[in-house]
Structure 1
């Protein structure tokens, strides 16, 4: 398999990371596009022909672009249509990157060190720092939309262990809408395909017509929603999931919600 083919294989994962990092599909996909442009202009940037190493080098290229743009100004970002609220600086950038590379993408410490051009000890310290920053003052009430009872129970226990509370567990679109009629959640965890044929995606779209809330979708087929070809979820978790992945994405989603509220309050 050619290096180009190996890069293409890793694009869904890079999109997932980029969207989680920026909190926005448009912004995240724009950074991925910039990464691909860099590879087209300098194809020798990635010189390995091994899947794992290609992934590390691809994320390394992305990181150079992310950090250089975040530090050196935003004119190029604006030209790409990246919304201003996606260019956040409220949390130290490097800890956030290290945290997501570890907890969302599952990179080993040595690979994260390579991607971020740091030592393993520095990576370990950054992940710990980000975990503390992201956990501060973010407890909220969560709605779970999941038709598989065991998975729903696992999610309920997990979010409660993180300090959140669960206002309800819905198995169908109809049940979910009934719950939010009674109480509005601070975050939604939603399976996309439900057993009765209804869609968690449709349920969420119905809710977002009347109120704003961060949403994390859970699916066994994440590659279907990471193509960059249509409006897609900003936050996505693959089944089967690891608790640390869910924890990382919940923290990131709530972080962006909190940052947006702080910005609104500051300009009010």
Structure 2
């Protein structure tokens, strides 16, 4: 049993953790609006009952546990009003084994330990390990596509290419500045974009992606940044997948598999 923080201190703690909860919710649903609705519902529930922070020592684990209770009680979103990529995402979600993606995202992207994932999901470590194994198989099975990298650091770009190629995807090219990225995307029409935010000439990966998405709105994007909290503000359209630098190979593999899974259509190589 923990000593709960004061109301004011708790508010500050939750505010600092909110970008990461939104990242998780967005990746879990495959859509910004749907994910943010679940995050907002979690905050509303905590306004009336904060007992979870009395019961769980880590505020971050407690916050994610509160989210999971709401997510589990509501069930996966139906996506009845969704269109385009979001609609395909929900169709894919309905075919997955329950709780597998939650475990995978919590462990690989949010970097919770197995014990913490078990506490968040209200299960045990053995079950978490089983869910992770199932998730890896379901997310990567028979889904391959064309991936473009926007990154100005040569070593990182090379590393990303290696990880993605080892997964069976085709690299369409690497761009180090925004103008190159827009041109490359137009020429190669990738199924997925991996993008840094700050590029070599001072241009923005966000601006490049926005220009690309005007022509191909349904291309999923994974941003890789040292400052994810600057991207997850809720002030503008944001990607479903955000990886924090320095990243791990497992994080990249997880995000790529899920983004490609969501975006997979008959046009992808399978």
TM-score, scaled to structure 2:
0.87
Where 1:93 maps in the other structure, the secondary structure is coil
Per-residue deviation at 1:4? 2.5
* Residue aligning to 2:158: 153
* Residue aligning to 1:177: 182
What is the rounded CA distance, in whole Å, between the counterparts of 2:99 and 2:51 in structure 1?
Answer: 26
2:206 pairs with one of 201, 204, 207: 201
* Residue aligning to 1:232: 238
Q: Does structure 2 retain, via aligned residues, the 8 Å contact 1:144–1:188?
A: yes
What is the rounded CA distance, in whole Å, between the counterparts of 1:181 and 1:84 in structure 2?
Answer: 24
* Aligned pairs (5 A) from 1:1-40: 2-40=9-47
Change (3 A) 1:102 1:49: closer
Segments of structure 2 that go 5 or more residues without pairing to the other structure are none
* Residue aligning to 2:61: 56
Change (3 A) 1:229 1:178: closer
Is 1:123 paired with 2:128?
yes
Is 1:221 paired with 2:227?
yes
Where 1:143 maps in the other structure, the secondary structure is strand
Cα RMSD for the two superposed structures: 2.1
Change (3 A) 1:48 1:224: farther
What is the rounded CA distance, in whole Å, between the counterparts of 1:48 and 1:243 in structure 2?
Answer: 34
What is the rounded CA distance, in whole Å, between the counterparts of 2:179 and 2:53 in structure 1?
Answer: 48
What is the rounded CA distance, in whole Å, between the counterparts of 2:89 and 2:10 in structure 1?
Answer: 31
What is the rounded CA distance, in whole Å, between the counterparts of 2:56 and 2:115 in structure 1?
Answer: 19
Q: Does structure 2 retain, via aligned residues, the 8 Å contact 1:12–1:226?
A: yes
Q: Does structure 2 retain, via aligned residues, the 8 Å contact 1:147–1:172?
A: yes
TM superposition outliers: structure 1 runs of 4+ over 3 Å: 83-88
* Residue aligning to 1:67: 72
Where 1:193 maps in the other structure, the secondary structure is coil
Segments of structure 1 that go 5 or more residues without pairing to the other structure are 263-268
* Residue aligning to 1:243: 249
Change (3 A) 1:143 1:38: same
Where 2:200 maps in the other structure, the secondary structure is coil
Per-residue deviation at 1:69? 0.7
TM-score, scaled to structure 1:
0.87
What is the rounded CA distance, in whole Å, between the counterparts of 1:3 and 1:207 in structure 2?
Answer: 40
What is the rounded CA distance, in whole Å, between the counterparts of 1:232 and 1:20 in structure 2?
Answer: 11
Q: Does structure 1 retain, via aligned residues, the 8 Å contact 2:88–2:263?
A: no
Where 2:201 maps in the other structure, the secondary structure is coil
Deviation sequence 1:13-64 (CA, Å, 0-9, x none): 11111111011111111101000001001122321685xx111111111001
Q: Does structure 2 retain, via aligned residues, the 8 Å contact 1:48–1:54?
A: no
Q: Does structure 1 retain, via aligned residues, the 8 Å contact 2:186–2:212?
A: no
What is the rounded CA distance, in whole Å, between the counterparts of 2:203 and 2:11 in structure 1?
Answer: 38
Change (3 A) 1:86 1:67: farther
